[in-house]
Amino acid sequence: MPGKLKAKIVAGRHLPVMDRASDLTDAFVEVKFGNTTFKTDVYPKSLNPQWNSEWFKFEVDDEDLQDEPLQITVLDHDTYSANDAIGKVYIDIDPLLSSEAATVISGWFPIYDTIHGIRGEINVLVKVELFNDLNRFRQSSCGVKFFCTTSIPRCYRAVMVHGFVEELVVNEDPEYQWIDRIRTPRASNEARQRLISLMSGELQRKIGLKVLEMGGNAVVGYLQCFDLEGESGLVVRAIGTACTLDKLSNTYTPATAINPCNSSPSKDIKEAGFGEEAPGVPLSSGPPTPLRAQTFSSFSPSKSYSRQSSSSDTELSLTPKTGMGSGGSAGKEAGPLKALLRQQTQTALEQREFPFFTLTSFPPGFLLHVGGVVSARSVKLLDRIHNPALGNTRSYKLLDWNSFTADEPETRDAWWEEIRQEIKSHAKALGCHAVVGYSESTSICEEVCILSASGTAAILSSRFMQDSALDTEHRFEDLMSPGCAFCHIPYDELNMPFPAQLTYCHCCRRYKVPDVLFTTIDLPTEANVTGKGCLIQARLCRTKKKAQGEGNATAISNLLPFLEYELHTQLMNKLKLRSMNALFGLRIQISVGENMLLGLASATGVYLTALPSPGGIQIAGKTPSDITYEQHISNMQKKINDTIAKNKELYEINPPDLVEEVIGSPIPEPRQRSRLFRSHSESSDEVSELDLSHGKKDAFVLEIDDTDAVEDIHSLLTDAPTPPGFYSCNTEIMPGIYNWTSALQMFTSVRVFRLSNVNLTNQGLNKVFNDLCENLLKSLYFKLRSMVPCCLCHVNFTVAVPEDELIQVAVTAVAMSFDKDQTQENGRQSIDKNLMKAITENEDQLQFPLELSAESSSNPLNSAKGLSEVSGPLPSARAPSVDYSSFTDRCSSWIEQLRLKAHTIRCGSIKTMSSLEKASPLPEGRSRSLRSNRSYAGSSVTVVKMTPLSFIPGTKIIKYLGIINMFFIRETTSLREEGGVSGFLHSFIAEVFAMVRAHVAALGGNAVVSYNMKECVFMENPNKNQAQCLINVSGDAVIFVRESELEATPPQPHSASAQTSSSGEGT
């Protein structure tokens, strides 16, 4: 009996009128946990009842505490008929189970009804008393912290990164139970919501147990997903990275934090050992860039049939191999010690079944080299017969699919296992022992399911994977210039897993780098980037014949490689068009519908200084005889060249060696019907790696020999440039922008497009899809125009084919304003010229916003993020050239002085969040007439910021309160009355936001970071005037404080504020 849960119902407000006669409501509340239910008294005839109940006490197992939500139902008492439900509140009490998170849940929660939406609010107090349980065989995992954030959370330090954890649970979907035919939609929806809540709880508990087993205390990058498989059930699965985290206390000084991150034991990658691994891999070649994708499918219930087809191999292997014969001399200095260290890492990783990490950014020194993107897909047939034990009679009994593995080999677990093995082998082929930025997803249409997994093959340092005792031994390793190390190829250049052009790194000039780098991770903070980045999308639509069962699965798996190949081609072309050479945060989503396949690849393109400058794009015609045709081609060529030039200017890409850039090197003879390949100048036969003065420029050749190609080029050029003042990326941060202000707008936008023309060609579909995405972006830019200059960060597109002729696109992103005029505050520029000089010498990228005005809470320190570690409070003082940490200290103390000055000027009041919000100036002209004594009851609602990023600029996260993982269903039978589908979804999304905010506020938080809308399933039936929508969101509830406030607080000891400023740099 290790826990006591206590709940108190305080009051309600804004309740709906339930009694038409009196225009009032006789409300009471049922509080339920597990099988125990308490009731409050009826508070008669009021829309604002004051129950002020006693404490309801539940004595429960901590196992139940983890699994079950607290269920609060508000009802209207009716003497004669059954009581009417007003709505419900589900409260996840998991945050109360960890000593470091929230201690009490208290606040106003929206009362939610799946049919009517939010109907008033209820004030609830919840506490948990937990008794220590030292039972070794316990089933609970209380105290394990969960984070959605895919980096080490801001106020923690990673002691150990244990690795991949995964789990899945399966149950029957209540919506498909026989009982659903006789119960109300409300009952069915609530059954589903409750079931998913239970399953999530159970899943989290099981993952927690695995983490404890591994010796960790936290899961970072926790990603939980639902697969609504319809008839065959409901799968809740989760992956994450187990870690041991240390909370950074306030007295923790940066000096001590330096120690653990000071060494990167292994940096060298060019050991022979890796060549030997490569042949073991089934793939011998792949796309020219490090994107390895393989589709394999097995779609018959008789499991064994699994067809392997390496995607696009046939086409791409035509690409001429470049002669990279002579090994770089630089690589040969690899000492035996390094080899040893490397081996240690190797073994540390090999102990794990899957050396996967869901993290996308890393503590300094963890990520050594990046190989490229690895991905795997598999097409499966869902079948109900897998689940014979699931009878109709069980309603909510949870069943773990794992328990059936013995009888049924074809389980979801086995499917994922298969895919993960695939990924692992891909990574090996790239000479890498780990996969980072790993994620999994599914797309389901009827009984066909595409499972996808992708990640970035990488080589990691062993430092976070073994006992820290090793640390002190290899400090000498830190010679590598930090900005380019991760670009250096991890694979053996003599035995390259795919043809690629290698050159010497443009930064250190010692190691080999590929010409293009694709990754699924965030841009490492230490990376040297030229100019700014931008969002790059490849969009593709392919028709598919309607089919059933195996035929359908075969058709899909046959289409997949082509889809992936074309997406890849598009990405590559668009990247070249922007004159960039690397993609970060690459996410390829393939969505399957009855009669089409949608592919959407999003990534952030950047110019990595370390990588060679990309060549231009050359168009080649096939029939050069025709004059007009040639003219047409030269026109297009000109357009392309212009666009490239324009883009270079737009994204400020002027690498120092760009002067001799020639767009369009000699066009090679078009040998094959391959539209995309690399040319290489004949002079470069004798490897010119040593000659860095003129990096080989190779132009991409687009041959126009069919309509497809014309379409490709067309789509290239129709991508509208972002309007002035806007930038966009799908990663956490945008290279080249450091001076964020605190203006923040998270949003979700959803569009559904109906294709009325059934006989669309691929091209037509492509255009529709492309326009849909482009117009959506245009609309976003327009809506957010008041925030200019601003950057849309973490732009996350999800596509779906909800019905035959519908395409659904949903976007969640955050718009963040930044200060364009960095020299605006020129008065302060001169204050410390030396400092400025120091910065400019070290990082030409770095600009220093000296914005200290009272209104703007832009963080002057955030500019230091180029120097310092962004992903955590671990200061990175490891760069050999400059002592960054001391620099940081200097600069923070200097800024502190300024701040103090600025602060005394604005009358030294310590502002709270809400007062800050209120302090914003009233609209011109009105402020005069508004009385100061006007009371805004609004101060009672906490402002809760939401962002998909792991940080909020200008602030410091001081506490993580727990994970937010919510699932809602909304249904209507009066669609027209609610403003049609748009009105329905608009209010539903607003309601979801409201509920997330309310839960965060009740935990005592003021923001959600790493917010993610993982699922938005929308179904409609306009003829019946009905619609239904399911939304699943997640994030981390946090408390943040503005950095200006932190430093303004007088009792704060100096050491603490120094810590604040140095660890807050990343924010």
Partner 1 sequence: MSMELDVFVGNTTIIDEEVYQLWLDGHSVSDAVRMRLESDALSECEASGEVLHSDTMDQYRTFQMCERLLHCPSKLANQLLFQIPAHRQAMLIERYYEFDHTFAREVLGKKLSKGTKKDLDDISLKTGVALKSCRRQFDNFKRVFKVVEELKGPLVENVQHHFLLSDSLARDYAAVVFFANSRFETGKRKLQYLSFQDFAFCAGQLISYWTVGAVDNMMEDMDVDLEKEFLHDLKDLKVLVNDKDMLDQHKSLVCYQLKGKIKAFSEMEANFKNLSRALINIASKLTNTKDVRDLFIDLVEKFIEPCRSDKWTVGDLTLFLTHYTSTAHTLEMFRFQILWERYMGVIKSCILKMYHD
- Residues 6 or more apart whose Cβ sits within 8 Å of residue 628: none
Q: Min. distance of Cβ 964 from partner 1 in angstroms?
A: 13
Estimate the crossing angle of helix 833-842 against helix 884-905, to 10 degrees.
140
Q: Min. distance of Cβ 807 from partner 1 in angstroms?
A: 9
CA–CA dist 1032, 996 (Å, integer):
11
Nearer to partner 1, 751 or 828 (CB): 751
Amino acid in the structure at residue 883: D
- Residue 295 tokens, joined: 């589709």
Q: Min. distance of Cβ 757 from partner 1 in angstroms?
A: 6
Nearer to partner 1, 752 or 1056 (CB): 752
The partner residues of 378 in beta bridges, in order of sequence, read 296, 451
- For the chain, percent helix, then strand, then coil, each to nearest 5? 30, 30, 40
- Residues 6 or more apart whose Cβ sits within 8 Å of residue 388: none
- Cis upstream peptide for 721 (omega within 30°): no
Nearer to partner 1, 156 or 984 (CB): 984
Q: Min. distance of Cβ 112 from partner 1 in angstroms?
A: 11
Query: Contact 431/425 with Cβ under 8 angstroms?
Result: no
Q: Min. distance of Cβ 797 from partner 1 in angstroms?
A: 14
DSSP strand pairing (56-60 vs 3-13):
antiparallel
Binding site for partner 1 (CB under 8 A): 13-14, 108, 110, 118, 121, 723, 745-757, 768, 775, 778-780, 782-785, 806, 808, 917-918, 920-923, 926, 929-931, 934-941, 943-946, 979, 981-983, 985-987, 989-991, 993-994, 997-998, 1018, 1020
Nearer to partner 1, 343 or 543 (CB): 543
Within 10 Å of residue 101's Cβ, how many Cβ atoms? 21
Nearer to partner 1, 759 or 834 (CB): 759
Nearer to partner 1, 325 or 921 (CB): 921
Nearer to partner 1, 141 or 748 (CB): 748
- Token pair 């950074």 in the structure block, residue: 248
Q: Min. distance of Cβ 1006 from partner 1 in angstroms?
A: 12
Nearer to partner 1, 110 or 1064 (CB): 110
The helix/strand/coil state of 297 is strand
876-901: b (≥16 Cβ within 10 Å) or e: bbbbeeeebbebbbebbeebbeebee
Alpha helices for 683-761 (secondary structure H): 707-718
Q: Min. distance of Cβ 1008 from partner 1 in angstroms?
A: 9
Amino acid in the structure at residue 727: Y
Q: Min. distance of Cβ 106 from partner 1 in angstroms?
A: 15
Amino acid in the structure at residue 219: V
Nearer to partner 1, 181 or 926 (CB): 926
Query: Contact 147/114 with Cβ under 8 angstroms?
Result: no
Nearer to partner 1, 43 or 993 (CB): 993
Q: Min. distance of Cβ 802 from partner 1 in angstroms?
A: 10
788 alpha-carbon distance from chain centroid: 24
Nearer to partner 1, 519 or 858 (CB): 858
Query: Contact 164/112 with Cβ under 8 angstroms?
Result: no
Q: Min. distance of Cβ 775 from partner 1 in angstroms?
A: 7
Q: Min. distance of Cβ 683 from partner 1 in angstroms?
A: 46
3-class SS string, 429-468: HCCCCEEEEEEEEEEEECCEEEEEEEEEEEEECHHHCCCH
Nearer to partner 1, 11 or 470 (CB): 11
Class of residue 495 by CB neighbours under 10 A (exposed 0-12, middle 13-18, buried 19+)? middle
- Among candidate residues 107, 362, 150, the one with its CA nearest the CA of residue 1036: 150
The partner residues of 283 in beta bridges, in order of sequence, read none
The helix/strand/coil state of 1043 is helix
- Token pair 């509830």 in the structure block, residue: 1037
Q: Min. distance of Cβ 947 from partner 1 in angstroms?
A: 8
Q: Min. distance of Cβ 925 from partner 1 in angstroms?
A: 10
Nearer to partner 1, 60 or 1016 (CB): 1016
439-464: b (≥16 Cβ within 10 Å) or e: bbbbbbbbbbbbbbbbbbbbbbbbbb
Nearer to partner 1, 828 or 918 (CB): 918
Query: Contact 162/243 with Cβ under 8 angstroms?
Result: yes
What DSSP state is assigned to residue 340? H
Nearer to partner 1, 108 or 222 (CB): 108
400-437: b (≥16 Cβ within 10 Å) or e: bbeebeeebebbbbebbebbbebbbbbbbbbbbbbbbb
Q: Min. distance of Cβ 342 from partner 1 in angstroms?
A: 46
The partner residues of 50 in beta bridges, in order of sequence, read 11
Q: Min. distance of Cβ 451 from partner 1 in angstroms?
A: 28
CA–CA dist 578, 603 (Å, integer):
13
Nearer to partner 1, 128 or 944 (CB): 944
CA–CA dist 736, 729 (Å, integer):
12
Q: Min. distance of Cβ 14 from partner 1 in angstroms?
A: 7
The partner residues of 963 in beta bridges, in order of sequence, read 1036
- Residue 491 tokens, joined: 């694979």
Q: Which string of DSSP letters, residue by residue, matches 840-906?
A: HHH-TT--------SS----GGGGGGGTS-SSSS------SSS-HHHHHHHHHHHHHHHHHHHHHHT
Query: Contact 817/796 with Cβ under 8 angstroms?
Result: no
Query: Contact 954/742 with Cβ under 8 angstroms?
Result: yes
Q: Min. distance of Cβ 575 from partner 1 in angstroms?
A: 26
Nearer to partner 1, 106 or 749 (CB): 749
Q: Min. distance of Cβ 12 from partner 1 in angstroms?
A: 13
Nearer to partner 1, 910 or 922 (CB): 922
CA–CA dist 858, 805 (Å, integer):
46
